């Protein structure tokens, strides 16, 4: 079994699974941005609007990465999004749990996707 890819095109099944993970992550990240803004406003933090803007940008970036999974840059952008989700835990600590869950899903999708793509290639040959 090959190592997890950090860059490069993946097989059809792998990029589909990765796109599903990133699409689901975009929804949860956006909800996290809403929570960060609401908590910021309640506590009187003047950066509350920025929390929503940056979190929404990360959610949109998740969708862009899901669309780019067919290209060599999709996997790299997906890894960067996983890191950014952990970084968002500085503002909203519960995002660390979201980061763990979606990073595990990301790793499993890349690992099992490669395995399934290899099986499908063997059957096609």
pLDDT in tens, the chain (125 residues): 568 877 777 888 889 999 999 999 999 999 999 999 999 999 999 999 999 999 999 999 999 999 999 998 999 999 999 999 999 999 999 999 999 999 999 999 999 988 988 899 888 87
**CA separation (Å) from 94 to 25, 39, 101?**
14, 13, 11
Phi, psi of 105 (to 5 degrees): -60, -40
Tell me the domain boundaries of the chain: 12-120
User: Distance (Å, rounded) from C-alpha 19 to C-alpha 13?
Assistant: 10
- Written as six digits, the tokens of 88 are 């968002």
């Amino acid at each position: 079994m090959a190592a997890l890819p950090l860059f490069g095109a993946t097989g059809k099944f792998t990029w589909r699974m990765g796109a599903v993970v990133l699409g689901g992550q975009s929804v949860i990240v956006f909800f996290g941005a809403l929570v960060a803004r609401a908590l910021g406003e309640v506590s009187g933090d003047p950066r509350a609007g920025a929390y929503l803007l940056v979190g929404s940008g990360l959610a949109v970036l998740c969708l862009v990465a899901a669309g780019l999974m067919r290209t060599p840059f999709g996997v790299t952008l997906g890894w960067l999004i996983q890191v950014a989700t952990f970084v968002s835990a500085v503002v909203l600590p519960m995002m660390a749990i979201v980061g763990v869950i979606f990073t595990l899903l990301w790793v499993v999708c890349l690992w099992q996707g490669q395995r399934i793509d290899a099986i499908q290639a063997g059957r096609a040959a």
